[in-house]
Chains A and B, each alone.
Chain A
Amino acid sequence: MAFRSAVITFPGSNCDRDMAVALELASGTAPMRVWHGDAALPDRLDFIALPGGFSYGDYLRSGAMAARSPIMQAVVDAASRGVPVLGVCNGFQILTESGLLPGALMRNAGQNFICRTVALKVENNQTLFTSGYSAGQIIHIPVAHHDGNYFADDETLDRLEGEGRVAFRYTDACNGSRRDIAGVLNRAGNVLGMMPHPERAVETAHGSTDGRALFDSAVKALVAA
């Protein structure tokens, strides 16, 4: 069964090709490419990816304009039907701005753009995105962002932690994120947003292949379903 996935490209996306390569590596099938101005997604999608970049030049707030673009209503509808949605970096910002994930991503606490490989702890490996990791596993994935400082109020953070919705945590303080949160899930577990770039860690030439298991997990979850 072919894995039907889509990568959404917004004006200013720059990791859409990397995301497509990673999805094809894991699934054997090239994802469909969808433009932000499209009103509808392809039928029967198994997976939707919102890539990194600087959609709409980060105008107003990172991800704010993209979250209101025509295709996002279709993504919100698909997510509510249970279609897996992965948002990386700017994709994570778009997911919080669209209300699919709680919280907000603010300017890094140190003001600087951070571009390096960081260590992450897999906090929950019982998700369709993380089943290929072991619980508590430390993985190495690159980050490259200016606005990755995750904020939510204490009540929201307690709820996220209590419900196992923190997928990844930085092992060392990275960008000022509250409780060092690097990736969060929605309540149903089919939407994951994360600042680190797993699609940049899927080939040996990348220096790390720790991101590969995330895409393999998603493909495996579909085959098992």
Chain B
Amino acid sequence: MKVHIHVSLKSGVLDPQGRAIHHALEGLGFAGVNDVRAGRLIELDVDDSVTDAQLDEMCRKLLANMVIENYRIEKVGEKENA
């Protein structure tokens, strides 16, 4: 099973990287961009036996830093021929 873990900064946490990207987009002449927040996408390929609770624990213990980040777990497809 493929799982995408979306890690993003919590609202209220300043994002220097997002701000720099925003600035660069404006520099390239793109108007109308109100805000940019940069996050991280982690793709996992896990056995079907891996539970939602285990995925949650992976995020909390390692993949996201709960002080500054949120995470969202997205299952993007079961293994073919399963």
Interface of A is mostly: loop
Q: Are A176 and B16 in contact (CB under 8 A)?
A: yes
The residue in A97, A102, A106, A108 that gathers the most chain B C-beta atoms within 10 A of its C-beta is: A106
Within the complex, what minimum Cβ distance (angstroms) separates A190 from chain B? 21
Which of B61, B62, B68 is close to A151, meaning CB atoms less than 8 Å apart? B68
Which of B13, B20, B62, B67 is close to A68, meaning CB atoms less than 8 Å apart? B62
Tell me the residues in window 1-51 of chain B with beta carbons closer than 8 Å to chain A beta carbons.
13-14, 16-17, 20
Q: How far is the CA of A103 from the CA of B65 in the complex (A)?
A: 10
Q: Are B14 and A109 in contact (CB under 8 A)?
A: yes
Interface size, B (range)? 10 to 19
User: In the complex, what residues of B have CB within 8 A of residue A61's CB?
Assistant: 65
Tell me the residues in window 141-163 of chain A with beta carbons closer than 8 Å to chain B beta carbons.
149, 151-152
Q: Does A60 contact B (CB under 8 A)?
A: yes
Q: How far is the CA of A106 from the CA of B63 in the complex (A)?
A: 15
Which of B20, B61, B68 is close to A104, meaning CB atoms less than 8 Å apart? B68
Q: Are B65 and A107 in contact (CB under 8 A)?
A: no
Q: How far is the CA of A149 from the CA of B68 in the complex (A)?
A: 12
Q: How far is the CA of A97 from the CA of B13 in the complex (A)?
A: 17
Which of A64, A97, A111, A152 is close to B16, meaning CB atoms less than 8 Å apart? A111
Q: Taking CB as reference atom, which chain A residue is nearest B66? A: A104
Which of A103, A108, A110 is close to B67, meaning CB atoms less than 8 Å apart? A103
Q: How far is the CA of A104 from the CA of B14 in the complex (A)?
A: 12
Q: How far is the CA of A106 from the CA of B16 in the complex (A)?
A: 9
Known: A60-B63, A107-B17, A111-B16. 6 other contacts (CB 8 A): A60-B62, A68-B61, A109-B16, A151-B13, A151-B14, A151-B67
Chain A contacts to B: CB under 8 angstroms: 60-61, 64, 68, 96-97, 102-104, 106-111, 149, 151-152, 176
Chain B contacts to A: CB under 8 angstroms: 13-14, 16-17, 20, 61-63, 65, 67-68
- 4 closest cross-chain pairs (CB), A and B: A104-B67, A104-B68, A107-B16, A109-B16
